[in-house]
Structure 1
Amino acid sequence: MADNHIDPAAGAQVRADDRAHVFHSWSAQAHIDPVPIAGAQGSWFWDYDGNRYFDLGSQMVNVNAGHGHPAIVEAICEQARILPTISPAFGNDVRGELARLIAERAPGDLDKVFFTNAGAEANEHAVRMARVVTGRSTVLSMYRSYHGASGTTIGLTGDPRRWRAEPTGGDVVRFFGPYPYRSPWATDSVEAEAAAALAHLRMVVELQGPNSIAAIIIETVIGTNGVLVPPPGYLAGVRELCDEYGIIYIADEVMVGFGRLGEWFGVNAFGVTPDLITFAKGVNSGYVPLGGVVIGSRVAQHFDDVPYPGGLTYSGHPLACAAGVASIKAFEADGVIDRVRATGEDLIRPTLSKIAANHPSVGEIRGMGFFWAIELVRNPETREGLVPFNASGPDAAPMAELIAACKAKGVWPFTHFNRIHVAPPLTTSDDELTDALAVIDEVLDLADAHVVS
């Protein structure tokens, strides 16, 4: 890090402006004090006092290419010189090229792309498409899920962030997805968990009335709410159920698309083809806001002669699309996708397994690619969480202690409830990964102190 990034006075001004004028999401404004960030590069970012942090969560699990990737930055600059913006009603070279590159990497007949500005908008439009195409209104989503904070998507969301937004007014029915470690059905194998979860979903569909259900929306791997990898056969079973009843299957890949799981799209790892895939985040690492819906033939053909009732001023913004094209090409040139898949199995999984063996507070490690969760418990026998579900204040103190210890050692963690998530940039080196996981190993001694024998 260059010395010119150390400027406490500038940091103080950033903090003063932020506290006086910026209204932050998901926060009680008087109880936060965001760290002013001076710069970032690769898998690291730093503040104005010179403190460097390894980005264990890729910010919001979106900086897949790492910070300041030169090819993406240059593509944005070059596009700004050529054509910084144009209405989505016109054809545009980088918009069309990115749509083609995405379609070529999507499974089956998903050949068209509707661009949005973020993941929430992508899910909003996917649900709208499903409702228009089917003529039905109900959407099924999981209790353990997050699909966005806009009107429709906060209603789809299952986690507690929805609670204070109610009533959402959405026609949504929730169901339980598979979670072998905390099985709602007390199963004893991943195969049994898949079968039980599918039987449960079928029952929900049949009791709700299949002819009223427009779509089932599922994060291919549940993200913030647990990094829950679906057991073998589960997503294929969802696909079969949707086909049986004419329901649109929406795969929410806002968090796991574009390499996070070691696949261009997560569903590719599970051998299924949804009707719609939503994406954002990793498509261009958030350098310029971008999201979208990849559309299969059933939905696309419906709108051949019927206007689609929706649009956005910045749909397919040239700067964002140029960044997306550059990101895909850079990942291809550097073999990032294959490396993520291999590193997840050859380095991250065995390292986390050793950490789990060393710490009684680790109930389970799970994940794939560069997307993992360390689930922490207070009692390994009963699997009581290190902190209660949706804990805050004093109840959340053990996790707050862990978070502070990580930051003090130069690792900025991504945590949720009783879990530490491991989701670094996909460009992170093996040495950086090893060092960051060693810090996690060290700080888990603090969690072990809370374990009851």
Structure 2
Amino acid sequence: MSDTGTDTAFWHPFAPMGAVRHSEFVITRGQDVWLFDEQGSRYLDATASLWCVNAGHGRAEIVEAVAAQMRELATYQTFGDFANHPAQELSRRLAALAPMPGAKVFLASGGGDAIDTAAKMSREYFARTGEPERTVLISREYAYHGTHGFGTSLGGMPANRVAAPFVPDVVRVAYDDPAALEKEIELIGPERVAAFFVEPVIGAGGVLPPPPGYIEQTRDICSRHGVLFVVDSVICGFGRLGDWFGVDRFGVVPDLVVFAKGVTSGYLPLGGVVVHERVAAPFWEPGAPAFRHGATYAGHPTVCAAALANLDVLADEGLLKRAESLETTLHAALRSLGDHPLVAEVRGGTGVLGALEFDPERLASEPGLPAVVARHARERGVLIRPMISSVAFSPPLTLTDDHLDLLTAAVRGALDAAA
């Protein structure tokens, strides 16, 4: 923690700046699962930054690929007919890995951009196929779909919904009940519903794995009513759930998949939407007008080079397979903390994600408890993510059993200190 009395000019996201402005925690270096602050102290990164450094910090392969690309062609836009080799190759590889046939890939700058892309694309798809009245978008309570215009409207976390009014024709349903989705579609009228947005595991809303059969049942409901099934795998993709797109394990075929974060392991900002051939068709047929949407940095060659190198690391080192075993051992480690009096629930077991939910009575008297526990864990050399009523875990996929032992000991100590 840096506390020099100097007033920072940097406005931190999701931060109470009155408290942070004179007291920033400055990270200077990362290596594998470790981070180092400006005093040289070492911390286990049990968050992978924000759910994204799947391959670990300090990957020379990614750094070298980025440097080589910048020497050749650092940047150029891809509007109209402009292209570059890294953007072409990344799109080809992602389409080949996608859980839907004939996939096309629309690249963006990050997850928030990609959510807005998917929302606009869903509505425009129906406008182009003769059903312009299909404008309603459905999401779930506790959902987090970023903080852009559509993402804020789709979000199901009340604390993030303060900048009203929002995008119209957006509604939410219970996060764990397929029947609630079907009831809402029927109430609105299927002929008015464009898309349903679903995170395979709800991340920032509390690390909420889906009930058994939920993903499969909601996919079926959408199919019956002609509603596009949009999977938000910004957190869940590229190994976090043990597969490429965070939805493969459920055996369903989505219409659109939104991705970001782990596609570059967070080394450079990149997001996008993978689109089923059926949804792409009215945009790609001869004579079709342009989809008038896109980011300056869409298809950025240097960023795409980082993604390509990251995909190689994930594949060559078997990190998706590693995630399959790590999801079990991480969940077991967190369950060992379930006997602590501050802990009301342990969540996890679907992917390399987990959370400790705090006792509601203690939270009522101390709403800042998650931040207090996270601070005590940091003092013990482990970084965890405080959320509204819980703390979350999403370590790099290179985590070992020894690292888990350190994590468990530090978090138990943090819980004791907070209690």
Q: Which amino acid letter does the alignment assign opposite residue 124 of structure 1? A: D
> Which residue number in structure 1 is paired with residue 12 of structure 2?
24
Q: Which of the residues 34, 38, 41 maps onto 2:24?
A: 34
Please report the TM-score for the alignment, with normalisation by the length of structure 1.
Answer: 0.85
Q: State the match for 1:43 in structure 2.
A: 33
Residue in 1 that maps onto 2:86: 94
What SS is found at the alignment partner of 1:396? coil
Paired with 2:58 and 2:366, the residues of 1 have a C-alpha distance of 38
More helix by share: 1
Q: Contact 1:210–1:245 (CA<8 Å) still a contact in 2?
A: yes
1:341 and 2:324 correspond: yes
Residues 258, 110 of structure 1: alpha-carbon distance in 2 compared, 3 angstrom cutoff? farther
Residue 116 of structure 2 corresponds to 124
Q: Which moved more, 1:433-442 or 1:214-223?
A: 433-442
SS of residue in 2 equivalent to 1:215:
strand
Go from structure 1 to structure 2 and tell me whether the alpha carbon gap of 1:352 and 1:12 turns closer, same or farther (over 3 Å shift): closer
Moved more, 396-405 or 331-340: 396-405
Q: Cα RMSD between the aligned structures? A: 1.9
* 2:52–2:265 Cα contact (<8 Å) kept: yes
Give the CA deviation at 1:69: 0.9
The residue number in structure 1 matching 2:375 is 404
Q: 1:395 to 1:363 in 2, by over 3 A?
A: closer
- Return the offset for 1:53: 1.5
Q: Distance in 2 between matches of 1:159 and 1:316?
A: 31
Q: Which of these residues, 345, 348, 351, is aligned with residue 369 of structure 1? A: 351
- 1:38-437 equivalent positions in 2, closer than 5 A: 38-89=28-79, 90-109=82-101, 111-134=103-126, 135=132, 136-178=134-176, 197-305=177-285, 306=288, 307-345=290-328, 347-356=329-338, 358-367=339-348, 368-377=350-359, 384=360, 386-388=362-364, 395-437=366-408
Letter in 1 for 2:381: G
Distance 1:28 1:420 in 2: 18
Tell me whether 358-367 or 136-145 shows the greater mean CA deviation.
358-367
For residue 290 of structure 1, report the CA deviation from its aligned partner. 0.3
Change (3 A) 1:396 1:162: closer
Q: CA separation of 1:110/1:396 partners in 2, compared to 1, >3 Å: closer, same or farther? A: farther
Return the offset for 1:110. Answer: 5.5
Using the alignment, how far apart are the partners of 1:440 and 1:29 within structure 2? 26
| AA matched with 1:325 | L
Deviation at 1:386, TM superposition (A): 4.0
- Amino acid in structure 2 at the alignment position of 1:311: G
Deviation of the 1:215 alpha carbon: 0.6
Q: Which runs of 5+ in 2 are unaligned?
A: 127-131
1:18-76 deviation per Cα after TM superposition (whole angstroms, max 9, x unaligned): x3422222234222132122222111212211222211111111111211111111110
SS at match of 1:164: coil
Question: How many Å separate the matches in 2 of 1:151 and 1:355?
Answer: 38
Distance 1:236 1:325 in 2: 31
Find the residue that maps to 1:387 and give its secondary structure.
helix
- The structure-2 alpha-carbon separation of the partners of 1:350 and 1:20, relative to structure 1 and needing over 3 Å to count, comes to closer
Letter of the structure 2 residue corresponding to residue 344 of structure 1: E
SS in 2 for 1:363: strand
Report if aligned partners of 1:110, 1:275 keep a CA contact under 8 Å in 2.
no
Using the alignment, how far apart are the partners of 1:326 and 1:20 within structure 2? 35
The range that moved more, 26-35 or 224-233, is 26-35
Quick one: distance in 2 between partners of 1:68 and 1:161?
Answer: 34
| Structure 1 unmatched runs, 5+ | 1-7, 179-196, 378-383, 389-393
C-alpha deviations, 1:175-217, integer Å up to 9, x for none? 1111xxxxxxxxxxxxxxxxxx111111111111111111110
Provide the C-alpha distance between the structure 2 equivalents of 1:351 and 1:404, rounded to a whole number of angstroms.
20
Q: Which moved more, 1:226-235 or 1:121-130?
A: 226-235
Which string of whole-angstrom CA distances, capped at 9 and with x for unpartnered residues, describes residues 355-395 of structure 1? Answer: 22x32433322222311112222xxxxxx36414xxxxx73
For the residue of structure 1 that corresponds to 2:150, the secondary structure is helix
Count of aligned pairs: 405
Distance 1:30 1:446 in 2: 25
Q: State the identity %.
A: 37
Retained in 1: the 8 A contact 2:117–2:273? Answer: yes
Q: State the Cα distance separating 1:446 from its structure 2 match.
A: 4.2
